[in-house]
Amino acid sequence: MAVDPQVTQIIEGAAKQKTPLGKQYLGPLASGLTFAVLLWAMLQEMMRPDAMRMTSWCAPYIIVTSYMYCDYWLWMLHCFLDREENLKSVLGPIKVLAQSFQDHHDVPATLLKGNHLGEIEDIVSLVGAMALILGYWTSPSTKLIMAGISFWGAVGGLNHFYCHAKTHGYQIPGIVWAGQEYGMLPTPAHHKRHHTSPHQEKWNFLNGLYKFYEFVYKGTGSSYNALFVMFYTCNPVSMQIWTLMLGIFA
Ligand SMILES: [Zn+2]
Ligand SMILES: [Zn+2]
C-alpha cells in the first residue's frame, strides 16, 4: 500500500513534538520576602558609618558561605527525606515531603509537567520571614547570606529540573548547560546515579562537599538519628536563631 509522503511527514512531526515543559517560578510570597531581605540589607548598608561598611572581601564571603551552607542543607534535606522512617513521621508535612521525594525515584518524569521550582516556595518564605524577624539584630552581610541561601536553593532546584529535562531530550537554558559543563552544577549523568536503586548516593543538588558528607554519613552507619537532629537544628530557619545567639552570624 502506497503511503502519501505528506502524511508520513505529518505523523513524524507529531511524534517529535514534545509536551511543553512546566513553567518554573517562585510565588509572590517567597520572592517578596526574599526581596525585602535584600532591600533591608542595602538600606542598612547605606545608612551605616563609613568605618562599618562592607569591604571587597564581603562579596566572595557572602557568595561562598551561602553556597557552601546551601550545598550542605540540600544534601542533608534530601538524604533525610529519602529515609523510609519519614514515611511514618507524625509531622504531616514531613510525611508528605518524604513521600514526594521517594516517589520521585520511581516516576522522575512527572516533575517535567509541573512547577518544580515552586516546591521550595514554603521553605524560601520561612527563611525570608525569619531573616526579617531577626533583621533588627543582624548585619547586612548576614541578610545577604540568607537571601543567597534561597538563591542557591532555587539554582539547585532548577538544575534538578533541567537534569531530568535534558535526559528526556529537551533543550535546556545555556546558563544551566554551562554550569553543568564547567563543573559548577550536577550533571544529568551524576544525578542519574541517585536514581539508580537503592538510591544510596549522590543526594546533592549543588557541587560542594557531597563526597565528604556521604563519607561521614556512611561512617556513622547511615545514622537516621544524626540526620534527624541535623534536619531540625541546622535547617536555614532554626539555624538563623542559634547562629545569631552564638554570634556566628551577627
Ligand atoms: Zn532521592
Ligand atoms: Zn531527580
The pLDDT tens digits of the residues spanning 179-236 come to 999 999 999 999 999 999 898 899 999 999 999 999 999 999 999 999 999 999 999 9
Instruction: Indicate whether 11 pLDDT > 60.
Output: no
What mean pLDDT comes out for the span 59-87? 96
Angle between helices 58-81 and 210-219 in degrees, nearest 10: 40
Nearest alpha carbon to residue 201 among 103, 95, 86, 105: 105
pLDDT score of 1: 46
Torsion of CA 82, 88, 92, 93, to 10 degrees: 0
Å from CA of 248 to ligand 2 middle: 34
Nearest alpha carbon to residue 81 among 98, 67, 93, 106: 98
pLDDT score of 19: 87
pLDDT score of 131: 97
Instruction: Please state the pTM of the whole predicted model.
Output: 0.89
Percentage of the chain surpassing pLDDT 90? Answer: 80
The 8 Å CB, 24+ separation contacts for 216-224 are 217/79, 224/83, 224/85
Instruction: Indicate whether 92 pLDDT > 70.
Output: yes
Percentage of the chain surpassing pLDDT 70? Answer: 93
Q: What is the residue-averaged pLDDT of the chain?
A: 91
pLDDT score of 52: 82
| 133-170 pLDDT tens trace | 999 999 999 999 999 999 999 999 999 999 999 999 99
What mean pLDDT comes out for the span 97-123? 93
Å from CA of 196 to ligand 1 middle: 10
Å from CA of 44 to ligand 2 middle: 40
Q: Which ligand is nearest to the CA of 160?
A: 2
Instruction: Indicate whether 9 pLDDT > 70.
Output: no
Q: Which ligand is nearest to the CA of 157?
A: 2
Answer for the pair 35, 125: CB distance below 8 angstroms, yes or no.
no
Å from CA of 37 to ligand 2 middle: 30
Instruction: Indicate whether 178 pLDDT > 90.
Output: yes
Instruction: Indicate whether 82 pLDDT > 90.
Output: yes
Å from CA of 21 to ligand 1 middle: 21
